[in-house]
Chain A
Amino acid sequence: MIWMTWRQHRAEMLVLTGIVAVAGLILLMQGLSIRGLFPDGAAACANSDVTNGDSCAQALSKLSDGYGHPEPISFLATLMPFVIGAFLGAPLLGREFEAGTWQLAWTQAVPRLRWLAVKVTVLAGLTVLLTLAFSAMVTWYRAPVDTFDGRLGQVGYEVEGVAPVAYALFAFAVATVAGVLLRRSLAGLALAAAAFVMARIAVASLARPKFASAMTVLQTVQDKGPGDTRGTGNAGDWVLGTTFIDSSGHKLSTATLEKLSGDAANAGVSIPAYFQQHGIHRAVNYQPGDRFWHFQWIESGLYVGAALLLVALVAWRVRRRSL
């Protein structure tokens, strides 16, 4: 059975392994060149005051100009888990139905649930290995960039750590189900892409901010300048939203804020000064950056759980299939 799985899927296996290997080379080269910008390590620039460190300022401006291509590379990296998982999952049953070979496969002397178990184990196993390797390489590549902005709430969260592995397993399971439902591997791939993107958007926008209860920090509103902190003051934190609250702790509506701004102008004081006089604070709602792993494990659990459910669905369909 293992030979059979290899023989049937070796094209996808080899191509995907090749893609990951080439991606690894590119990441290595670009990662080294980004590291070349920071001879003392990126952390040295993150801690020092950027305006004073001349070499750091240069390096950072080069980085934000796209040196080492962190943005396009990270974008491509977000696609990889789907590519790896779905290209292994969609043909698993889709191609058998397409070519009618399910009738050949399931009338040999291997019970079909065992047949399915071996195939899923081998292909899902490869999915894990490839995405784990890829994610590790991306994590290394992005490390200098992450030093400045952290990973939680950034693109780094979705391409580093264990989450990409879980995304890939989910993509594998969705594509397998789609292949069963549509009985075509290519159409299954398209359906899986749609389902995958929707699930990712839903989790990222609705579920992820609530993985742990958010924290709030109150800040005095300052004039623009060195004293005016942005966000929580810690660049690694994930800011969910900023509101203004009055002295009794009530959130101020946009209309009230506009009215207050008008009052400030009438009184001839700056808005921050006016807000300070009236005890109005800025409330920053955020998830601390050190919750990265906590969030990654919750999100991974969610996707792996969904993948297991989908695989169980496939097994149920295969067991009692009626055409």
Chain B
Amino acid sequence: MLSSLPFILVVCAYLFYSHARLLENPGDKLLPAPATIAATVHQYAFEEDERSGDYLWWTDTWASLVRLLTALAISAAIGLLLGLSLGVIPYLRAAIAPFVAAVSLIPPLAVLPILFIVAGLGELAKVVLIIIGVAPVIVRDLALRAGELPNEQIIKAQTLGASTWQLALRVVLPQLWPRLIDALRLTLGSAWLFLIAAEAIASTEGLGYRIFLVRRYLAMDVILPYVAWITLLAFTMDWLLRLLRAKAFAWAEAA
């Protein structure tokens, strides 16, 4: 209950200032009235767009989620494979770890122009931008985690007859899964950042595209609900990941 108090306070403050501004100037666009926002949301979500015939709210959501989830899935796969290999094979770690560390420090937005030049303005560039921003972090985190496993465990597994392959498959990999979920949760914020940045610059649909498009008309009645919606989506993804970790990896909760 107490945790809902700050939310209520923010909403109250908004209602108060919105009302005050609209009293002074009924044409004010900065803090639109709740009724205006509701009408806009209804128009975007439940009425066909005059020009395209789409339900913009849902086509934007779908386009953004496809990009985000594709990129996250690929990043997770890269992170798991490379993180595991770096953690298990010392030679590989010596050869590649510094490279991964360097790549992870490239500011992803700085290479966005390169992506647009090389991959064009299509979906590929946007997905790759998110992967460049997210995957190296996951790789490094998982490699660190694999390296942190107690040496006793590795030696014990060897005395039980484990080969390097079996060690990776039955000892290291299963212990990386919960950490992968943690890493995904932590990188979710930056993944959304890169998605919206890419959509703002070159796109024809998507949540980020829409808010940057309507910015020209000071359409706060569109921007505000879109931002709230993006936040809700991000929160739901975070919550689902946390739920998955608790259900699927009970041992990690017990430890």
Q: Do A and B come from one complex?
A: no
Q: Which residues of A are at the interface with B, using a C-beta cutoff of 8 A?
A: none
